[in-house]
Amino acid sequence: MSRKYFGTDGIRGRVGEYPITPEFVLKLGWAAGMAFRRQGACRVLIGKDTRISGYMFESALEAGLSAAGADVMLLGPMPTPAIAYLTRTFQAQAGIVISASHNPHDDNGIKFFSGKGTKLPDEVELMIEELLDAPMTVVESAQLGKVSRINDAAGRYIEFCKSSVPTNTSFAGLKLVIDCAHGAAYKVAPSVFRELGAQVTVLAAQPNGLNINDQCGSTHIAALQAEVVAQRADLGIAFDGDADRVLMVDHTGAVVDGDELIYIIASDLQARGTLVGGVVGTLMSNLGLELALGKLGIPFVRANVGDRYVIAELLERGWQLGAENSGHLVCFQHTTTGDAIIAALQVLLALKHRGKTLAEVRQDVRKCPQVLVNVRFGGEVDPVSHPAVKDACARVTESMQGRGRVLLRKSGTEPLVRVMVEGDDEVQVRGYADELAKVVAEVCA
């Protein structure tokens, strides 16, 4: 069934514009509480990133859940994967995250986790959607939900992250620069790496509600690149606003993306004889990753873009590792969802095992030139299925003569068409990408 409200990663949009309004989020809290309560007594955790609108939406969700008779436990600003972990450890029926991830402060969204710390099952999302269209009611006064705050949430999550590496692990002597994107990781991430012995310089860890992802973090990595070189650090780590996405910078200032990072983790696990299955990437994963894994005999499959699809493929196959090149890395041997801090720790552990630098290890993946152009669209036209766009894609694909691929897809979180062209000639690839983007823009005009 098609969804009216839920996208690939919850419900997201511009603050103050439907559905990201206090009224809708109040109703969403009630609908979610009613759906969760059908399974009995209900406890729901709420966490958020550092956007100023998080205060407003936290209160709205709290009121809606309480009206439905669900007890609420507030976590405050915490990484998205921390909510997944704490939902499990507190044996809650669900966890809710108020975040728009890598988007600017004037966007926000609501994401859900099941009691197992995974994405909500489809049937639960559909149940919530049905309830959203029903009249809102309030349970009897004696059955209203109660609200409490978990004061030691950060400490619990820090210890969980540290437990993902062996107890005797020390990163003493490792000089790191960490960019927290003025987001949800601003407290916990520096503590994790410092407590494991690393020397840490921290960037973008002074959130004011408006500066999340603003020229910082994994989507704006120039400041981290400059600081790593200036500090002569071993490497840099960039998180996004809710810390489910990570990119790295080697000591030369070169960016290391999700494709390269998952290869480093997978090859290390294989070398230690602990790799289960293969690696799940996406339609956007670079061909170079697939070829590099193939040389090691590690299976590789592609899922649709979106971490929920990567996770679904992992669950179906019983594998542990998945990634998007944008930096969502899933390490199922440690957690139930994409976790930027845990993924970064696994990369550091791999470098320690091999006794090599990030710049050296990343050379094992020889990436094919890949150009991505975003085209904004609106209105009723579906540019991806438009005949003119299809014809242009077919023409470009034929011109590459089997030495590349074309992918057009609509973003699940923004009104964008992502035009991707990959091949063995960078100049040619960029020209094709610009050509296709121009056709898409003309169709959308």
pLDDT, tens digit, 9 for 90 and up, residues 425-442: 899 999 999 999 999 999
Average pLDDT over residues 159-172: 97
* 375: β partners: 417
User: How confident is the model at residue 1, as a pLDDT?
Assistant: 52
**Same CATH fold assignment for domains 172-255 and 370-444:** no
122 in a known ligand binding site: no
* Homologous superfamily assigned to 370-444: Alpha-D-phosphohexomutase, C-terminal domain (3.30.310.50)
Return all residues near 363 (Cβ < 8 A) that are at least 6 apart: none
Residue among 353, 137, 366 nearest 265 (CA):
353
pLDDT digits 0-9 by tens, 211-224: 999 999 999 999 99
Tens-place pLDDT, residues 139-152: 999 999 999 999 99
Fold classification of 257-339+347-367 is: Alpha-D-Glucose-1,6-Bisphosphate; Chain A, domain 3 (3.40.120)
Mean pLDDT of all residues in 338-361: 98
Cα torsion through 397, 402, 405, 406, rounded to 10? 10
* CA atoms of 286 and 250, how far apart (whole Å): 19
pLDDT of 445 reads 77
pLDDT tens-digit series, residues 357-368: 999 999 999 999
Q: Which two tokens stand for residue 437?
A: 């983007």
Q: Give the CA count within 13 Å in the CB-facing half-sphere of 144.
A: 12
Is 240 marked as a binding-site residue? yes
Task: Give the per-residue pLDDT at 40.
Answer: 75
pLDDT at 39: 75
Q: Give the pLDDT of residue 38.
A: 87
pLDDT at 396 over 80: yes
Query: Is 257 among the annotated ligand-binding positions?
Result: no
Query: Which tokens hold the place of 18?
Result: 């439907």
Query: What pLDDT is stored for residue 400 in this prediction?
Result: 87
Q: Which tens digit of pLDDT belongs to each residue from 45-81?
A: 999 999 999 999 999 999 999 999 999 999 999 999 9
pLDDT at 2: 65
What DSSP designation does 329 have?
A: E
Contacts of 36 (CB under 8 A, 6+ apart): 42, 44, 70, 93, 94, 124
Rounded to 5 degrees, what are φ and ψ at 338?
-65, 130
| pLDDT tens column, 245-271 | 999 999 999 999 999 999 999 999 999
- CATH architecture under which domain 172-255 falls: 3-Layer(aba) Sandwich (3.40)
Provide the pLDDT for residue 292: 94
For 217, other C-beta atoms within 10 Å of its C-beta total: 29
Q: Looking at per-residue confidence, does 421 or 411 come out higher?
A: 421
User: How confident is the model over 310-328, as a mean pLDDT?
Assistant: 96
For the annotated catalytic residues, the residue numbers are: 101
Q: How far apart are CA 332 and CA 334, in angstroms?
A: 5
- Bridge-partner residues for 22, per DSSP? none
pTM of the predicted model, to two decimals?
A: 0.90
- The architecture that CATH gives domain 11-151 is 3-Layer(aba) Sandwich (3.40)
**Cα(385)–Cα(287) distance, rounded to whole angstroms?**
25
pLDDT single digits (tens) 269-283: 999 999 999 999 999
Q: Is 424 labelled as part of a ligand binding site?
A: no
pLDDT at 319 over 90: yes
pLDDT category at 410 given cuts 50, 70, 90 is: confident
Q: Where are the domains of the chain?
A: 11-151, 172-255, 257-339+347-367, 370-444
Q: How far apart are CA 202 and CA 183, in angstroms?
A: 12
Q: What is the CA radius of gyration of the chain?
A: 22
pLDDT class of 393 with cuts at 50, 70, 90: very high
Return the minimum-mean-pLDDT range out of 155-164, 303-312, 317-326. Answer: 303-312
